[in-house]
A and B are shown apart, each in its own frame.
Chain A
Amino acid sequence: MRTPGATRQAMPIPGSPSAARISVDAAGWIRAARDLADAGGCLLSLWATRPSSTASAMVRAAVLIDGRALLLELSIADLALSYPSLREIFPSAGRMQRAAFDLLDIRSDDADQRPWLRHSDEGYAFIRVEGEGVHEIPVGPVHAGIIEPGHFRFSTVGEKVLRLEQRLGYVHKGIEWRFEQMSLLEGHRLAARVSGDSAVAYSWAYCQALEGLAGVTPPPRALWLRALCLELERLQNHLGDLGALGNDAGFAFGLTQFSRLKELLTRAIEAALGRRYLMDTIVPGGMASDLRESGEGPLANCVASIAQAAMKLRGIYDDHGGVRDRFAGAGCVEPILARRLGLIGLAGRASGQAFDLRSDGAWAPYDELAPVKIAREEGDVAARVAVRFDELQESCRLIGQILGMLPPGPWLDPVGIPYGQALAIGLIEGWRGPVMIALESGPNGTIRRCHPQDPSWQNWPVLEHAIIGNIVPDFPLINKSFNLSYSGHDL
């Protein structure tokens, strides 16, 4: 694989050690994107920034390549003109470009200009499938379960799905606008609530960016405690998903057992860190509090017993003919399609896209922990279940390792207000996939712009492909096997 020219000219950015930037013109924007895609890069994010008194409007694309995030920056001198669409090169750019127009009136030259996050009373132009026996099933936004809202439009023949089109944006609540009303030192609280199931990943990414702007590094103990929180969050979510997946396959026993394990873990987390879910635990400069000595041993024991119990439950899932039958072959995304569409994170790793920032990037303390990367090639529900089982074991191992090696010393070194005006990137591998925060500081400790990026942006469109040819009743199971965030996507 050759190194694209763009990566050699890139300049480092504060925040994540893996991020770098390069300015391009409109022709260079397309050329660099194509070079990076040819070299195995996938789109991490695309977002716009409106002009200020000192800078012109800008559109940025972050491409993940070899564990690094390379930012292409295109200045837009005249807002009446459009910038070149990247959708032909990176299919996932389409919705991001539509969202950028909805939020900031900065337009790409793409053929699809339908609104995405901004809904209007005029309705939405779904793409119709026509032919004998084809009918449409509209579902949502309110779904039949304890889930977030979104609309799915199935075109089916009998029970077989010919096409699924999603319409999202129902929980769009102005998060990026809200960031700009906050000071740099309070934004981590909002970041933790971009997608509540990834609170640790987002608040760490935000703090990593902020600490980059301030030019400080948190004490070693704080970084190790953050990694502990990140693995606990992964474990909580994987336990929840493995139970729900069993339930969706008609095996309620799985939900009962895994939800019990999740509750035991959640209680152990509360005893050790003071909260059941770790919102507001990671703060600028370190941690909101230290690990409680009284909770440390019970947490280690709890995690060890979960690893054992999960191993036994995996055996029960594997032996259960009905569960096996529902999992195997359902919602298949072949590696070649995953590669073309830019599937990332956990779902990507189940379809041969073996990217994991914890192994590929070099950030403390994962450079010392050496996590084992889990990946499979099959791309079906069974593979996404297997990746969760394997990652669950690896997270349990990492938690044990972190608790054993936790460096002594302070867990917080408060950050002063960064006065410079600059861009920083935070980049963390959350349980669902890479989570990015692009943070631009304004004057006097204000936030000029903050763009959070959830891996759900890339993976939602792939779900439309995963369901093709499957039957409607398998959709809940296939959807759950991806378990994508609506809030993290709708912002």
Chain B
Amino acid sequence: MLKTLYTIASIGIVSEPVPPTDVSLRLREALQSEILDVLGRALCIRHVDAGSCNGCELEIHALNNPIYNLEGQGIRFVASPRHADLLLVTGPVSVNMAEALRRTYDATPDPKLVVAVGDCGCTGGIFGENYASLGRVSNVIPVDVVVPGCPPSPEQLMQGILTAIST
């Protein structure tokens, strides 16, 4: 126990400031003020992997490390779409995941935001569209903000999420 406490005390707080928002990432201005009235800056995110290679997931995980400390901004990941304000969707949408993605979207209460993550989520990426892949996320559900990159860095992800909830 003492070693645990000593480690916590000696490392201290390592969190860094958050990046600025960037409106050029925004695809549409859906009910922005209405959403902000409801959410303020306390945001619950549901991540959905709709077919990614799991590269984007590595960087989404990093958002929760003490250095990016997304939770320190009042933003946290939740286990159910019914608790979520924002869907963070990765991957080209595989044919086998399309139904699950649509259902997750439908289960998320209005008003809701969708951020498509990674080159695959934004454009279909290297996989594109084929017999098993429907390509970009916006081919399946409405998307508000895109975060390109392969994978995007945690700063870029934070920027995209914060852009989605900025005015």
Q: Which A residues are within 8 Å of any B CB, using their own CB?
A: 119, 141-142, 144-149, 169-175, 177-178, 189-190, 193-197, 199, 236, 240, 253, 255-257, 259-260, 262-263, 266, 276-277, 279, 312-313, 315-316, 319-320, 485-487, 490
Contacts and interface: CB of A to CB of B under 8 A. Distances in A.
For the side of the interface on B, what is the size category?
Answer: 35 or more
A487 B150 contact: no
A377 B117 CA distance: 41
Given A172-B96, A173-B92, A259-B64, A147 B57 contact: yes
B47 A174 contact: no
A170 B56 CA distance: 17
Contact of A196 (B54, B77, B96): B54
Contacts of A149: 48-50, 97, 100
A172 B131 CA distance: 10
B9 interface: no
A174 B91 CA distance: 13
Contacts, number: 143
A277 B149 CA distance: 12
B15 to A, nearest CB: 10
B94 A171 contact: yes
B31 interface: no
Interface stretch (B36-44, B122-130, B139-147): B122-130
B113 to A, nearest CB: 18
A175 B61 contact: no
B132 A190 contact: no
Given A144-B79, A170-B96, A178-B127, A194 B53 contact: yes
Given A316-B3, A316-B7, A142 B100 contact: yes
Which 9 A-B pairs rank lowest in CB-CB distance, beginning with the nearest?
A196-B55, A144-B79, A259-B65, A174-B132, A196-B53, A174-B130, A193-B53, A173-B133, A196-B54
A177 B49 CA distance: 21
21 contacts: A142-B81, A142-B104, A144-B80, A148-B57, A170-B51, A170-B96, A171-B51, A177-B131, A195-B53, A195-B54, A196-B58, A197-B58, A199-B55, A253-B7, A259-B62, A260-B11, A266-B62, A277-B151, A316-B7, A320-B4, A485-B54
Contact of B57 (A146, A193, A276, A316): A146
A147 B11 CA distance: 29
Nearest to B14: A260
Interface in B97-142: 97, 100, 104, 126-128, 130-133
Given A142-B48, A149-B100, A174-B131, A262 B126 contact: no
A485 B55 CA distance: 11
A141 B100 contact: yes
Contacts of B131: 174, 177
A236 B130 CA distance: 32
Given A174-B131, A177-B132, A319-B3, A240 B49 contact: no
A122 to B, nearest CB: 14
A308 B146 CA distance: 40
Contacts of A145: 47, 77, 79
Contacts of B81: 142
